[in-house]
Amino acid sequence: MTETIKLAVNGTLMRGFELNPNLLNVNATFERDAQTEPTYRIWSIDDKYPAMIKVSSGGVAVAVEVWQVPLAGLGVILSQEPPGLAVGKVKLHDGEEVLGVIGEPLTVAGKKEITEFGGWQAYQEAN
């Protein structure tokens, strides 16, 4: 049996988006839709992908997908992520803490904040 780790994704790795094949190509499996705890804000990076950052105040719950990723595939997925994205711990609304794709603070400088949409999918549907 392949050892896996949970990964919360909030943008183009989600089902139906451009980079979702990166998850599928390493045999990751979709576990569930979820939301973060309400301590995150999200920005659009040139309308190509989002960057989610944890904040001390003014955060919202961001829509994410939780995937089971084979440990051997985690590095492959991360190496294919856009610039300015990294992996960190993300706290979900139910209190579970998992690895998740997060943005580096400098990546969002001067970019369009889309926190009001609550997630990349809702932002894409509105634009």
Tens of pLDDT, residue by residue over 79-127, are 999 999 999 999 999 999 999 999 999 999 999 999 999 999 999 999 8
Question: Is the pLDDT at 26 greater than 90, yes or no?
Answer: yes
**Chain centre to alpha carbon of residue 114:** 14
Domain 4-119 has CATH 3.10.300.10: no
Question: pLDDT category, 1, cuts 50, 70, 90?
Answer: low
| Residue with the two structure tokens 């979820």 | 34
Domain ranges for the chain, please list them.
4-119
Question: Is the pLDDT at 14 greater than 90, yes or no?
Answer: yes
| Residue with the two structure tokens 């051997």 | 72
Q: In the beta sheet, which residues pair with residue 6?
A: 68
The structure's pTM equals 0.95
| Residue with the two structure tokens 């003014």 | 58
For residue 61, which of 124, 121, 118 has the smallest C-alpha distance? 118
Please give the helix or strand (H or E) that residue 72 lies within, else none.
Answer: helix 71-79
What is the rounded average pLDDT of the residues 54-70?
Answer: 97
